[in-house]
Amino acid sequence: MSVRAIVLAAGQGTRMKSSLPKVLHPVAGAPLLKWVVDAVRQAGPDQLVVVVGHGADEVEKMLPDGVQTVIQKEQLGTGHAARQALDVLGDVEGDTVLVVPGDSPLISAATLSRLIERRAADDAAVALLTTRKADPTGYGRVVRDGAGAIVGIIEERDADDGQRLIDEVAVSTYAFEGGALLKSLSRVGSSNDQGEIYLTDAIGVLAAEKAPIVSIETDESEGMGVNDHEQLADAARRLRRRLNQQWMSEGVRMVDPERVYLDATVQLEAGVTLLPDVYLEGSTTVAAGAQVGPSVFAEDSQIGPESHVWYSVLRGATVGARAEVGPFASLRPGTVLGPDSKAGTFVETKNAIVGPHSKIPHLSYVGDAEIGEGSNIGAGTITCNYDGFEKHSTRIGDGVRIGSDTMLVAPVTIGDGAWTGAGSTITKDVSPGALAVERAKQREIPDYAAKKRAKKAPDE
């Protein structure tokens, strides 16, 4: 007996009020549908078909290789969508057909496997997944007879007041026996409030035939579907909680896990500390002993061991071991901070290589630059990398002392061990070990203030 899976992802998601297809809305860095497809794939079906329709091109683009798609041209309902998939699955008689909605990102592979096994073990026509909701609004209610046997699922908008009180809901996830699905779906009509072909009605058809129906209950989180932005935020919060619990169990310390926002793609080592309001996205990695936060946004960045990053923005940046970043630094793409280096308060870097033990402590812009080892960049230094037409590079050697408020007009090279005087505008290369000063000599006018006052306000 093989297992075939269908994921329903053709709907527009009208309630999102967005031009983006609903299943592409991201949670924890991945589209809703990706979470579902990953879980389904982990459950190990022999075949997987995703039903696409609204925004089909975009949706297909994000699907991993080896996933089949089928187009549902008109979104005539979940039952109609399942039929489209059955058309490409071919002969499913005796197989298990798993059906999962593309808008339930918290569904787990373990639960799907449990559902598949349960259907097979009981040789049931269908095993359906249910959950209990304190507020079941919007979900299909599971209707049972006096003996507790399932007689059908009734959608909220078709339910009467009594049925609306039922707190056991269907979460649109089923393991059908293939033949039973095919046969029951062919008998489902569209006489409901929306005039759609409901997959849920297949359950009623099977119940009427006294076909064996079983159910398993899962927790509220796993069963939640995303229909609007409030539910999207709710799903994100639940996924975040799950992800953060996982990282904490692997040795990551989070001072307040409710305020740590990680993409699923981020990698952390044991011994990392994350403070509140940290957003780590894309391919970001953080090594052991690093302390990140409060208030850090890092995208596609590598944060080295024992480093300290706070109140800062990192995009495509690499932070070396024991380096210090922030507060209020902006490390833009191509920034590579060497071990024991520093990019401090109000420092912006871009395409800049900062050697080991070199420091840019305050108020500087360093772009298209390479700094050697053990150099210090004085407060307010700017690499003037743009001449209005092209970008040019600045090279600063080892052990250099750049004085405060130095303008380094690129292209320019500062030799090893050289110094620049505070306030200098350096336009020519500086030899190793030399001091370059470029500023007017200071002069003094004695008693200037008194003389000025005598002239301007003699009566005071």
Q: Which of residues 200-259 bind Ca ion (CB under 5 A)?
A: 225, 227
Query: Which residues does 199 contact at the CB level (< 8 Å), separation at least 6?
Result: 8, 77, 78, 79, 81, 82, 99, 172, 174, 185, 188
Residues 161-220 that bind ligand UD1 (CB under 6 A): 169-172, 198-200
Q: Which x/- pattern, by CB under 6 A, does the window 223-262 give for ligand UD1? A: --x-x-----------------------------------
Q: With H, G, I as helix, E, B as strand and everything else as coil, classify residue 324.
A: strand
Shorter beta-carbon distance to ligand UD1: residue 140 or 320: 140
Secondary structure (3-state) at 74: coil
Q: Give yes or no for residue 152 binding ligand UD1 (CB under 6 A).
A: no
Helices (H) and strands (E) in the chain, counts: 9, 37
Residues recorded for the chain? 460
155 binds Ca ion (CB under 5 A): no
Q: In this complex, which beta carbon is closest to ligand UD1, that of residue 159 or of residue 331?
A: 159
Q: Which is nearer to ligand UD1, 25 or 359 (CB)?
A: 25
445 C-beta neighbours (distance < 10 Å), count: 8
27 binds, among Ca ion, ligand UD1, none (CB under 5 to 8 A by kind): none
Q: What is the DSSP string of 185-229?
A: HHT----STT----THHHHHHHHHTT--EEEEE--TTTT----SH
Find which of ligand UD1, Ca ion, none residue 154 binds, CB within 5 to 8 Å per kind: none
Which among 54, 80, 357, 362 is annotated as catalytic? Answer: 362
* Token representation of residue 257: 């896990």
Is the Cβ of residue 8 or residue 377 nearer to ligand UD1 in the bound state? Answer: 8
**Is-catalytic flag, 54?**
no
Q: Give which of ligand UD1, Ca ion, none residue 25 binds (C-beta under 5 to 8 Å, depending on kind).
A: none
Smallest CA-to-CA distance from 216 within 142, 322, 270 is with 142
CA–CA separation, 50 and 23 (whole Å) = 12
The H or E element that residue 280 is part of is strand 278-281
Which pairing describes strands 26-27 and 30-31: parallel, antiparallel, or unpaired? Answer: antiparallel
Which CA distances in Å does 47 have to 66, 75, 368?
9, 23, 50
Binding to ligand UD1 in span 9-28, by CB under 6 A:
9-11, 23
- The verdict on 395 binding ligand UD1 (CB under 6 A) reads no
Size of the site for ligand UD1 (CB under 6 A): 29
Is residue 139 part of the contact set for ligand UD1 (CB under 6 A)?
yes
- Residue number with CB closer to ligand UD1 (235 or 426): 235
Q: Closest CB to ligand UD1 among 23 and 436?
A: 23
CB of 319 to ligand UD1, least distance (A): 40
Nearer to ligand UD1, 6 or 331 (CB): 6
The reply on whether position 196 binds Ca ion by CB under 5 A is no
Q: Which residues pair with 97 in a beta bridge?
A: 4, 176
Centre a 10 Å sphere on the Cβ of residue 422 and count the other Cβ atoms it contains.
15
The entry of ligand UD1, Ca ion, none that residue 82 binds, CB within 5 to 8 Å by partner kind: none
The neighbour count for residue 189, using CB atoms within 10 Å, is 11
Segment lying near ligand UD1 (by CB under 6 A), choices 101-109, 126-134, 244-252, 398-406:
101-109
21 binds, among Ca ion, ligand UD1, none (CB under 5 to 8 A by kind): none
Please state, in angstroms and rounded to a whole number, the distance separating the CA atoms of residues 249 and 155.
40
> Contact between 133 and ligand UD1 (CB under 6 A)?
no
Which residues contact ligand UD1 (rule: CB under 6 A)? 8-11, 23, 51, 72, 75-78, 80-81, 101-103, 139-140, 153, 155, 169-172, 198-200, 225, 227
Residues involved in catalysis:
362
